[in-house]
Each structure stands twice: as structure tokens, then as C-alpha cells.
Amino acid sequence: MMAVPLTAPRTEPHAVDNSRVHNSRVDNSRLDSSPADDSLSVWPASARPAPHGDVTVAGVALTEIADRFGTPAYVLDEGEVRRRCRQYRQAFPDSDVLYAAKAFLCRAMANWVEDEGLGLDVCSAGELELAVIAGFPPERIVLHGNAKSPQDLDAALRLGVGRIVVDSAGEIARLAANVADGTRQKVMVRVVPGLAAGSHAALRTGTEDQKFGLSITDGSAQHAVTRILEQPRLELVGLHCHLGSQITTAKPYLLAVRRMVGLMARIRDQHGVALPQLDLGGGHAVAYRPGEEAPDIATLGARIRAELTAGCLAAGLPEPRLAIEPGRAIAGPAGVALYRVLAVKHTGHHTFVAVDGGMSDNPRPALYGVRYAPRVVGRPVTATTTVTVVGRHCEAGDVIAADVPLPADTRPGDLLAVPVAGAYHLSMASGYNLVGRPPVVAVDKGRARLLIRRESLADIRNRDVGL
């Protein structure tokens, strides 16, 4: 079996950035031309302080975006997305870099990552069809998910995705039965390597006794491999694992490589098959606040590739083509959320700053306790005080940022910007309180354009078709 690269770039519209290979503290992917203002260290590399307390991203003032498109709104720096894509391709040469669409997907995002030579990792028929409608080549798409619906599998087979990741034993026969006569669908097996990694229990997907994958320990992974090899309509091309999210060090990935190579060696010994691909998933951390840890991607890539080479050499295996699936690390730092302050409330021991969005457009603080570093923009800031930024929804847990410094005179009408908002914000948005989801505005080279319009009250009303 020969591995078919998923990431042959369509074009090379931008030069590769070779300027940042350094310490793993803070946002290690910033350009050398970044501003000295440490408070912008986790912002897009194009962010600059501007007069009157404003901030520009890709040459566009945030106050201008708020005035033009309203708030809440999401700002996405196209150049930052593309730069991070190129950084991954440089750090993982001769590998398949697949953007994890679950972090954030729209048609423009699909075009950007395709332009930069990445493949795509999708989890549903919705993500898959949106990408294909946008022109993304289906053969460079991988579908996975722990509970794929019949619609998911039908769409994958109909549109011709490059790989389907098998996540349960029952999926094997179901998938094989739907493959057209005379054809074969390439598949991988999602393996649970038995490793705990990730910043929160809900984000650890490489451990035993959770919903994802098939265990090495209890033999489920090995059994799935045997069953797939018996299916004439399925072609087993590799193994897949995903350890979790917000992983700050290389160690879990190196351990995963060892366990996956060990399993590949056992498959070779039992079945006489040397699998040509190994997908290590994603989960690479980003810094949400200045001073937080994030892995250096160039160093991470070098260490993973060295471990894979050494392990295969020791096991007498041909080295499989490596695949990785970064999502947050590409989209997250490219995004900024904008809110207007609606109210300021002083209680006995706390000051609450309430804004016009909240858990309907960013549930992550409530789900995972994520901490952000919001900033008032559009006016000068002098003395600060500690406040808690909350949303407008009917939940005490609707908190955007607890115990953060904001101006002591923060008042209704102020514009609040929250960096590192490009991943798992709008993609996880809900319709709670029927508020409507915010728009997404792309910025690039001094221009702003709308990618996703605001969800209106008419949109919400028109979905309700019965009395």
C-alpha cells in the first residue's frame, strides 16, 4: 500500500515565514516585527496599538469594525491564519497537515487552508459539505467522529473523502455495506493509546474509559484491524489517535508515537501488513493570556519526527507518512471577539462588567474554565481595577473573564476586545435566549469584509414553523 499525500498545495501565494523558532513561552509564533507592547503578545501578530487607546489588526481599527458591523462580532485575521498554516507545513515537512474544521469553519477558512497546502479534518456531513461546496478537494479530507450518522457516512462516500477514521467495531460492517461495488474506501482506526494529556478532564481523549476510539489495552483496536482487513471494500491505510486539547509539551506525543509504532509492529507481525500512515491528531496548546505556555511548533515537529524515525528503525518498520490535525493553534490566535459594555454593577466585593454577548457565543469559560485577557479599546486607559466580565444570559455561570484588570472607570458603551477568540467560540455557539449568533469579519491588508453575517431575529423567527 502506498500513502497518498493529502497536502499537495494548490498554489504558493505566500512565502514561508522562517523567522520564529524560539522559546515555548507565550505565543511563540509571533513575527519579529511584533509590537513591544506585552499586552498584545497573545494577539494576532499584526495587532498594533493605535491612537486614543485603539488597536488595529491587519491595519484595521477595532473601533471601525465595531461601528461598521456592530457587536458582538468576531474579527479574523486572514494573514495570521495563513502564516500559522505555513508554520505547520515548515515544522512538519513531508507530512499531511490537516486543519481541524471543528475549531472554526466557513467557506473562506476552507479556501485559506487549501491555498496554504493543508488538508481538512471534518466531523460531520455539515462540515464536509460546506468544505466541498467551497471547492475543497474531497480527497484531501478526513472524516472522523465517535458516532457517525448514516448521513455522515453517506456524504463521505458520495463525495469521495480521502480517509474515514473508524471509531467503533460496529461502524466497520455498516461502512463496508455502503461502499459501492468495485470500489474500496480508505480507512484508519482510531486508537486509544492510554495516555492522559490536556488541560481539562473534558478535553482528554487519549485515556481509557471514554467515548473515543478503540483501546490497545483491551484488544479492541487489534480486533478492529483484523475485521477491516477481512473487508474487501475497505482498505486499511493507517492508525489514528488524538490525545486531547491544550497540550503544552511534546512528551505525550512522543509516548503516543512509541505506543502506536509498537501496535504497527504487532500488526505487521500478525497480518504481514506495514501500514503506510500514522495520524497523531492535534491538541497543541495556545496561550490565552500573556505568560502562558504554548509549545514551539518547530521544536515539536522535529521531536515527533525524530521519535517516529527512531521507533520505526528499531522495530524494523518502514516509516509511515505522518499526519497531524491542528485546529485551535491555527484559528485561535487569529481571532478577536468584540463586545459592548451594557452595564457595570458594584456589589459588596466584586465589580461585574456585563457585555452584549456571553455564553451563547463563547461557552468555553463555563465548560472548561478558560481564562482570557480582555482589553478596553477606543479610549485611553489610566488606573485599573479587578473586575469580572459577564455575559447577558440567564445563568450565573455566564462569565467571560473572571478577576481581570480593566479601567476603574469602565462604563456602558465601552468597547471590549477579547483576543485568542478564533477557535471554539462561534463553532460552539448556541441559540440560548434567542440572542442570535455574531458575525465574522475578516481583516487583511487594511481591509475588512464580512464572512458570516449576524444571525437576525428574522432568522430565528423563520425557523419556528409551527403553532
Active site (annotated) includes residue 106: no
- Apex 28 CA angle, 23 and 30, nearest 5: 135
Q: Which of 121, 87, 138 is nearest to 281 (CA)?
A: 121
What is the CA angle 302-303-305, rounded to 5?
A: 65
What is the layout of strands, in order, in the sheet containing 48-49? Answer: 48-49, 55-57, 60-61
Residue with cell 465574522: 440
Q: What is the CA radius of gyration of the chain?
A: 23
According to the 3-state scheme, what is the secondary structure of the chain? Answer: CCCCCCCCCCCCCCCCCCCCCCCCECCCCCCCCCCCCHHHCCCCCCCEECHHHCEEECCEEHHHHHHHHCCCEEEEEHHHHHHHHHHHHHHCCCCEEEEECCCCCCHHHHHHHHHCCCEEEECCHHHHHHHHHCCCCHHHEEECCCCCCHHHHHHHHHHCCCEEEECCHHHHHHHHHHCCCCCCEEEEEEEECCCCCCCCHHHECCCCCCCCCEECCCCHHHHHHHHHHCCCCEEEEEEECCCECCECCCHHHHHHHHHHHHHHHHHHHHHCCCCCEEECCCCECCCCCCCCECCCHHHHHHHHHHHHHHHHHHHCCCCCEEEECCCHHHHHHHEEEEEEEEEEEECCCCEEEEECCCCCCCCHHHHHCCCCCCEEECCCCCCEEEEEEECCCCCCCCEEEEEEEEECCCCCCCEEEEECCCCCCHHHCCCHHHCCCCCEEEEECCEEEEEECCCCHHHHHHHCCCC
275 forms beta bridges with none
Largest CA distance in the chain: 73
For residue 91, the tally of other CB atoms under 10 A from its CB is 21
Are 163 and 121 in contact, with CB atoms under 8 Å apart? no
User: Among residues 106, 241, 312, 394, which one is catalytic?
Assistant: 394
Catalytic residue annotation: 394
